[in-house]
Amino acid sequence: MQKWYRCRFRRASPAALNLSPSSMSRLGLFFCAPYALFIAACVAYVTMGEVGYDGQFAFLQLPVAAQLELLHVLGLDRLLRYISWPDAWGLFMTPAFLLLYASGAWIERTIERRRVPLDRG
């Protein structure tokens, strides 16, 4: 006999979906990889000594250009005067990597849940 507070159709448990919390999302890592390679390429090009001081500034600014533009649009670019470049990189790249990984993990989990039919029990 079914109780009134239980759903008739329940979703499959995380164990049935093979979604352990300790597993890394491959799609999330796949989303982070191009950004990490772009950062590595910019830093490598600057450290090779192929560009002058202005070129170094431009190439080191490229990986965080979107975040800098967002601050400019929001009118918060005055805050950048008080932090160093390594601090700005840490401040901007950490949320970017988290956002890329979380979006990839969310898409992967959504696809995985749609593959498994609902548990009818």
Give the whole-angstrom CA distance, residue 97 versus residue 54.
27
Q: 86: which residues sit within 8 A by CB, 6+ positions away?
A: none
**pLDDT in tens for each of the 121 residues of the chain?**
545 445 554 555 555 555 555 588 999 999 999 999 999 999 999 999 878 888 888 898 899 998 989 989 999 888 888 888 888 888 889 999 999 999 999 999 999 888 766 665 5
SS3 call for 9: coil
* Domain ranges across the chain: 24-115
Question: What token pair was written down for 98?
Answer: 């988290």
Q: 99: which residues sit within 8 A by CB, 6+ positions away?
A: none
pTM confidence score: 0.69
Q: Count of CB atoms within 10 A of residue 40's CB?
A: 11
SS3 call for 24: coil
Among the listed residues 39, 33, 31, the one whose alpha carbon sits nearest the alpha carbon of residue 61: 39
Give the whole-angstrom CA distance, residue 20 versus residue 18.
6
